[in-house]
């Protein structure tokens, strides 16, 4: 076989591989999910108030779905802040990168004279309520 044919076959294989890889990368699959605003406002004894995000904050975060909500335990008057961010695109450089495209934060102010153990238990208790619900809103 002449060197011209070898070169032509190698060039065709490389070109075909490049086209296949490019076509494969262009089809990003975004799983179906519920919008974060439909996340329950009442969770057992916790009721909530939405906190709107400023346009400047949304511009910094980029494309995605975001929820910032204040929950209050009606029986104890303790409060918890819940922030959930979901970034549908997982392309490198498009958004804040996490493998599942989500960022979930639960924070709370400690009550006067409250122990760290008590505050941690409250946060863990609240997390135990929301974790089973997250799957429909932030698919993994």
Higher pLDDT, 47 or 135: 47
The number of helix segments (H) and strand segments (E) in the chain equals 3, 5
Q: Report the alpha-carbon distance of residue 79 to residue 72 in Å, rounded.
A: 4
What pTM did the predictor assign?
0.71
Residue 27 near residue 44 (C-beta atoms within 8 A): no
Q: Report the alpha-carbon distance of residue 130 to residue 105 in Å, rounded.
A: 11
At residue 46 the predicted structure's pLDDT band, cuts being 50, 70 and 90, is very high
Average pLDDT over residues 116-123: 89
Q: Report the alpha-carbon distance of residue 82 to residue 140 in Å, rounded.
A: 19
pLDDT at 110 over 90: no
């Amino acid at each position: 076989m002449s060197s011209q044919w070898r070169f032509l076959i190698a060039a065709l294989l490389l070109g075909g591989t490049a086209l296949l890889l490019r076509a494969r990368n262009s089809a990003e699959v975004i799983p179906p999910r519920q919008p974060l605003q439909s996340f329950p406002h009442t969770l057992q004894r916790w009721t909530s108030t939405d906190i709107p995000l400023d346009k400047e904050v949304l511009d910094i975060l980029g494309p995605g779905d975001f929820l910032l909500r204040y929950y209050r335990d009606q029986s104890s008057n303790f409060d918890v802040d819940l922030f959930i961010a979901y970034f549908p695109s997982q392309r490198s450089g498009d958004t804040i990168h996490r493998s599942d495209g989500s960022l979930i934060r639960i924070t709370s102010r400690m009550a006067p004279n409250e122990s760290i153990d008590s505050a941690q238990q409250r946060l863990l208790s609240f997390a135990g309520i929301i974790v089973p619900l997250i799957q429909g809103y932030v698919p993994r």
